[in-house]
Amino acid sequence: MRIIGVDPGLTNTGVGIIDREQGAVGPGQGLHFIHTELIKPPRGDLSSRLLYIHEKLIEVIDRTAAQVMAVEDQFFGKNVQTALKTGQARGAALLAAARRDIPVMLFPPARVKQSVVGNGQASKEQVRHMITQILNLQSAPKSLDCSDALAVALCCAFKPDF
């Protein structure tokens, strides 16, 4: 199963793709790193930025043959404006999945961190370190947004009923 993980944002949207082999029974087993990239919309009005994110995600889905999308969900934010903007970027991702008819799973940040690090309050650096270990990467992803996206994909892969 090819999973595309998305860490949505209007400035940076992290994307991480992994494969999970059929019948893999435990964390770290049957998992393969495929691709990661950072989508950086050009400055401009909100609708143009959202369209850019949407179109780039469709391109990645098509290019990598992703079969399911896992998206970091946020239930609240300290800054209301930031939470609203992140929600709009999340909407662009959900629309891309719907346009390609692939299922979507939403995971709150604490659950993603818990599934990858074992601590729902882990730092982004701790998440990056564990992603590198779990996927046996030669080097850590350069962008924290990309390592977060891979963590979301892994959270989906670790889901017991997946």
Measure the CA–CA gap between 56 and 36, rounded to whole angstroms. 13
- Please give the pLDDT value at position 27: 55
Residue 34 sits at φ, ψ, to 5 deg, of: -115, -50
109-148 pLDDT, tens per residue?
Answer: 999 999 999 999 999 999 999 999 999 999 999 999 999 9
25 has a pLDDT exceeding 60: no
| Cβ pair 14, 38 in contact under 8 A | yes
Measure the CA–CA gap between 128 and 109, rounded to whole angstroms. 14
Please state, as a whole number, how many other Cβ atoms lie within 10 Å of the Cβ of residue 107.
21
Residues carrying an active site annotation:
7, 72, 145
The pTM score is: 0.93
| Cβ pair 20, 12 in contact under 8 A | no
151 has a pLDDT exceeding 90: yes
Classify the phi-psi angles of 87: left when phi > 0, otherwise alpha if psi is within -120 to 50, otherwise beta: alpha
Q: Which residues, 6 or more positions from 96, have their beta carbon under 8 angstroms from its beta carbon?
A: 54, 57, 58, 61, 69
162 has a pLDDT exceeding 80: no
Burial class (CB in 10 A: 0-12, 13-18, 19+), 64: middle
- Please give the pLDDT value at position 75: 59
- Please give the pLDDT value at position 114: 95
Q: What percent of the chain has pLDDT over 90?
A: 80
Please state, as a whole number, how many other Cβ atoms lie within 10 Å of the Cβ of residue 50.
19
79 has a pLDDT exceeding 90: no
Nearest to 59 by CA among 20, 13, 11, 9: 13
For residue 41, what is the DSSP state? P
154 has a pLDDT exceeding 70: yes
Structural domains of the chain, with CATH = 2-158 (3.30.420.10)
**Segment 16-26 mean pLDDT:** 81
Q: State the chain's mean pLDDT as an integer.
A: 92
Q: What percent of the chain has pLDDT over 70?
A: 93
- Please give the pLDDT value at position 98: 98
